[in-house]
A and B are shown apart, each in its own frame.
Chain A
């Protein structure tokens, strides 16, 4: 099972591809036989004694036993603990309704801001942008957001200031941007200074010193979705030399 999974790491898999749970042919007699356990991430699903691929993408592996499918989808499914960019769509009583790009709008309590009390309400208007994280994200329940961490600190979350541009990219690019040693990010750093907020729901917010620069960054990132590393480097170099 492990070996069959490991053999196909970094290969493109399609929904319907299968792995069976059968044990390996050879079992060492000297070492104690320990049961194999694989942790399946997104895109892999267990069905009886088989492991079925349910998303198209590249199979990834992290030692010792984590496997997942790296896909390029654009549809967001809320997951607990992820930070997203939301748009406030309604204020009703003591909760805000926030659009996060999922199937359902998330709710955000007015007390879930740093320093908010019953008398000291946060200043949030309909149409404002928020950076928040999910504290409840179930498939059967309405997702719930919070703009504070567990210790009650804002920790970078909250309502956005004025200016900047919001745009959408694929979830794959978002993950590439957020990776610890992100090549896209380091390429971007060579251009001009900008503020960048990355939401796991595929929304990016950019603010730079001028509108022209903001537009350039937004268009560059949107085109990064479908480019190879070489093409991207070439394009960024071109921009750096002032071709645009």
Chain B
């Protein structure tokens, strides 16, 4: 039983009622939808910026943009994709799914949930408005290294700083909410080690957010005082050090990398067992591997700075610590493969995206291992090889993970099925386009093409043309995705069965499709041997 009330009277003008509903909502499903819509919108805005970049790099020489505008596009593309697309998409999924999966009536702190979301659009208004200001948008790359961002940053940098502060407040409050929900709101019998993997990965992601985002806030605060109040944190003539900025930034930045992938791990761990029709292989080792990855993420930040100047001992430490991450990550990949081993596999769209996730994320993991080697990194540093690496973990990792989740749970959310044929077309074109875009970057990077430079040697022309063609195709496939989602929501085949996928396990599949506005008003009881108890093999 829940006490709730619809306070918005029915006689309001429909438009006002609509606005009030979405502005004032405290419902986890509605807020999840808001997050997902905002992420999708910003995904297209950030994608359009990537199109500008790839268009410019289609051929050597300056075609369409001036160097400064190119730098602005590179910067905003990175910032928007990280803070605007991937993170809100994952928070949206957490909002939708965590209460359903643990048998809770809603998030633990519903008003705070609304607050976390509605800060975000304003943060991005601050960030995006910088494009129209005198001196242009931030142009120093999404990592905003000092002194590019302090001494040489345009005036709009200050709006960017406050935008980052707002995003940080939103992320921390959102993470606290997820954390408390998971720790406090589980249905009777839902012990920690009966939680679905998606919930586990989000619990750990929330921890990383709470630990890392405040450090980012500290970094931008020091930037602000260095810019305007005469402090010298990042100024050697005052006794500070520009490299200090990199340390503080990457202390946030490396956990941030895992914030952007761990929920993807969780999604793959939900989907693969469903379509392999087997229990997840090695549930406990999956959980422990996730915890290990999260803890290691706090002691590897130096591998982003091998070329910046650190003592040899520090370089060695960060190298070995980084390579250690391959162990828990390898455990995960092994477990996904072992789950599929001798399963009764079918390849519906979510499964295709999940399998694509495993394969292509692993490619990104391998190039990460190459980058972890100090002597090799001296050559790879700041080349397109790095760009290829992190786009392989982010695009087929975070983005494919999100898309797999949308295909997988959309029938549960909306009560309507997507078009399976179009979904498969989407997957295959996206997979071809992702590889066409990012695989050649390995080669141009190894050959020495620097990243974040508007022009390049004619020697890299062929690889860049391939990447740009791939990027254009990739952009088009995401318009197809938009079409598929809209079509499913408006005219998709109605789903009547609660159990949308025959092999799916978990509490969310015990609710009718579409899931009612208020989910578990009476908590379900989870028995150890219940078919719906999340993989419990104790």
**A interacts with B:** no
